[in-house]
């Protein structure tokens, strides 16, 4: 059975005005498109230099050929202010000058829909000026964190605004939010840094009978514990946690960490429910899809894959497997091993590796140990490690037909996974029984990668 992929796009949306864009996707087996960063590109001085160096798709590169090299993003829609009444967050706006551009794009979306393409929105957290969706606690632009109920209400209003103006869109991909899961100091997603302690977070904790500041103190104490390991402690831990029941003693002697996980699960779930139920109340037929991290460390982010079917129609865990840069799986796993080693120089390499495997629930293949993670990954990595992530997510979500993992080559200009690795990944996906994936993103696809993707979708 061929895979049925979704293509995620980024600007320039202007390439979508040419029907050749949609025909190319249909020819390649992509019949679903998720449009992220709903913005026109406007040439300006002192704007963002584009195209970025990772852009590779000929259609994208040719768009930039006869233009300047700096651009600003202009929101596609002008907001219907009445939808945001009573909210203390207001959407980005634009001048009437772009009304004809909007009309042209709307017609192009309509033609794509008539060709049989399903179109989805993307909530673009952290890119407020571009799409108008709200960011998480680290996001600027005056938005508070997801525990502020206004954030979900605003997201629902924004989604209705898009759907009213672009009714051919039949669903949305919610991206996160995620609590952090990294342990390397300075990493973007360092779980020990910058935990939100706003009033909304504190009152959410109080409603569970918890003191948020105590939970954060416990996290700091746990970090210290991770910095005071020795071979005797690690070997004893590995021996005692070999069985499922053996871990109970460790967790019961760290009750605040257990409470912190409960707090993360509850607050993410409350936020996701507010979004899901709010959208469904106004748009009952609208498809709501929700991303997450991969099962190995999803618990730290607060997403319970086993419970999300109550507030997501489809689950989109990120099978982001690259090394060298956030938020790739091999980058994170290497960070765990390297950070444990740096914090505990006396620890044997064997114990560093065994502890990393135990914490994350993974097993390194003999021909591809964690030390090699910066080299292109072997087939054994995809079959065993990535395959296990897929099998875990199938079990946790309980319905393989509701799983659409995210796949990407890299983020933020780090080293890309190679076309041969993409082939190994898609072959493992196919063998796992998962039939769909979402590819991030169209612009970075070289001809070699395109050939691999289309090989599996036709
Ligand atoms: Zn907060």
Question: What residue ranges do the domains of the chain occupy?
Answer: 4-188+272-457
pLDDT at 140 over 60: no
What spacing in Å lies between the alpha carbon of 199 and ligand 1's midpoint?
Answer: 7
**For 285-302, what is each residue's pLDDT tens digit?**
999 999 999 999 999 999
- Cα 251 from Cα 258, distance rounded (Å): 7
Question: What is the model's pLDDT at position 194?
Answer: 80
- Cα 202 from Cα 195, distance rounded (Å): 11
What spacing in Å lies between the alpha carbon of 196 and ligand 1's midpoint?
Answer: 5
Instruction: Using a pLDDT cut of 90, give the percent of the chain over it.
Output: 90
What spacing in Å lies between the alpha carbon of 223 and ligand 1's midpoint?
Answer: 22
Confidence of residue 127 (pLDDT cuts 50, 70, 90): confident
pLDDT at 383 over 80: yes
CB-neighbour burial class of residue 225 (10 A; exposed 0-12, middle 13-18, buried 19+) = exposed
Confidence of residue 135 (pLDDT cuts 50, 70, 90): low
Half-sphere exposure of 6 (CA within 13 A, CB side): 25
**For 76-98, what is each residue's pLDDT tens digit?**
999 999 999 999 888 999 999 99
Lowest mean pLDDT among 143-147, 177-181, 357-361, 416-420: 143-147
Question: What mean pLDDT, rounded, does the chain reach?
Answer: 95
What spacing in Å lies between the alpha carbon of 202 and ligand 1's midpoint?
Answer: 7
What spacing in Å lies between the alpha carbon of 457 and ligand 1's midpoint?
Answer: 42
What spacing in Å lies between the alpha carbon of 143 and ligand 1's midpoint?
Answer: 10
Buried b (16+ CB within 10 A) or exposed e, 164-173: eebeebbbbb
Averaged pLDDT, 350-379 = 97
pLDDT at 458 over 90: no
Averaged pLDDT, 403-427 = 94
pTM of the model: 0.96
Question: What is the model's pLDDT at position 138?
Answer: 46
Averaged pLDDT, 272-288 = 98
- Cα 437 from Cα 453, distance rounded (Å): 11
What spacing in Å lies between the alpha carbon of 399 and ligand 1's midpoint?
Answer: 32
What spacing in Å lies between the alpha carbon of 148 and ligand 1's midpoint?
Answer: 7
Q: What angle do CA 67, 68, 72 make, to 5 degrees?
A: 105
What spacing in Å lies between the alpha carbon of 204 and ligand 1's midpoint?
Answer: 9
pLDDT at 142 over 70: no
Question: What is the model's pLDDT at position 141?
Answer: 47
What spacing in Å lies between the alpha carbon of 138 and ligand 1's midpoint?
Answer: 10
What spacing in Å lies between the alpha carbon of 188 and ligand 1's midpoint?
Answer: 18
pLDDT at 143 over 80: no
What spacing in Å lies between the alpha carbon of 145 and ligand 1's midpoint?
Answer: 5
| Beta-ladder partners of 74 | 40
Lowest mean pLDDT among 58-72, 120-134, 192-206: 120-134
* CATH class of the domain comprising 4-188+272-457: alpha beta
- Cα 149 from Cα 274, distance rounded (Å): 8
Averaged pLDDT, 373-398 = 97
pLDDT at 396 over 60: yes
Measure CA 397 to chain center: 17
Confidence of residue 133 (pLDDT cuts 50, 70, 90): confident
What spacing in Å lies between the alpha carbon of 147 and ligand 1's midpoint?
Answer: 6
What spacing in Å lies between the alpha carbon of 128 and ligand 1's midpoint?
Answer: 18
């Amino acid at each position: 059975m061929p895979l049925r992929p979704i293509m995620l796009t980024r600007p320039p949306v202007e390439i979508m005005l040419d029907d050749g864009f949609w025909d190319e996707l249909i020819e390649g087996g992509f019949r679903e498109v998720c449009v992220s960063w709903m913005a026109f590109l406007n040439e300006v001085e002192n704007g963002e230099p584009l195209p970025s160096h990772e852009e590779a798709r000929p259609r994208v590169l040719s768009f930039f050929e006869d233009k300047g090299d700096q651009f600003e993003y202009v929101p596609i829609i002008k907001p219907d202010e009445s939808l945001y009444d009573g909210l203390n967050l207001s959407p980005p706006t634009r001048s009437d000058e772009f009304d004809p551009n909007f009309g042209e794009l709307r017609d192009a979306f309509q033609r794509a829909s008539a060709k049989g393409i399903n179109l989805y929105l993307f909530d673009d957290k952290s890119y407020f000026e571009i799409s108008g969706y709200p960011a998480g606690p680290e996001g600027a632009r005056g938005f508070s964190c997801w525990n502020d109920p206004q954030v979900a209400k605003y997201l629902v209003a924004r989604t209705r605004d898009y759907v009213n103006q672009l009714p051919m869109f039949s669903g949305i991909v919610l991206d996160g939010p995620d609590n952090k899961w990294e342990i390397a100091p300075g990493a973007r997603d360092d779980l020990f840094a910058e935990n939100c302690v706003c009033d909304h977070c504190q009152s959410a904790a109080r409603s569970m009978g918890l003191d948020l500041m105590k939970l954060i103190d416990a996290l700091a104490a746990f970090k210290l514990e991770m910095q005071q390991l020795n071979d005797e402690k690690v070997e004893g831990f590995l021996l005692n946690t070999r069985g499922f029941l053996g871990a109970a003693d460790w967790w019961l002697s760290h009750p605040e960490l257990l409470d912190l996980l409960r707090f993360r699960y509850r607050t993410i779930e409350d936020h996701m429910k507010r979004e899901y139920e709010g959208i469904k109340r106004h748009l009952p037929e609208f498809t709501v899809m929700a991303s997450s991290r991969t099962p190995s460390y999803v618990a730290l982010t607060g997403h319970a894959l086993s419970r999300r079917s109550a507030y997501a129609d489809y689950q989109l865990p990120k099978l982001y497997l690259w090394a060298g840069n956030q938020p790739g799986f091999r980058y994170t796993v290497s960070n765990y091993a390297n950070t444990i080693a740096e914090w505990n120089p006396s620890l044997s390499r064997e114990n560093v590796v065994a502890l990393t495997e135990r914490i994350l629930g993974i097993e390194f293949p003999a021909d591809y140990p964690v030390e090699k993670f910066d080299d292109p990954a072997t087939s054994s990595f995809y079959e065993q490690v990535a395959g296990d992530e897929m099998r875990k997510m199938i079990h946790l979500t309980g319905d393989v037909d509701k799983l659409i993992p995210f796949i990407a080559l890299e983020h933020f200009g780090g080293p890309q996974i190679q076309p041969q690795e993409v082939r190994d990944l898609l072959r493992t996906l196919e063998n796992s029984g998962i039939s769909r994936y979402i590819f991030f993103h169209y612009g970075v696809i070289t001809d070699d990668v395109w050939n691999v993707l289309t090989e599996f979708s036709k």
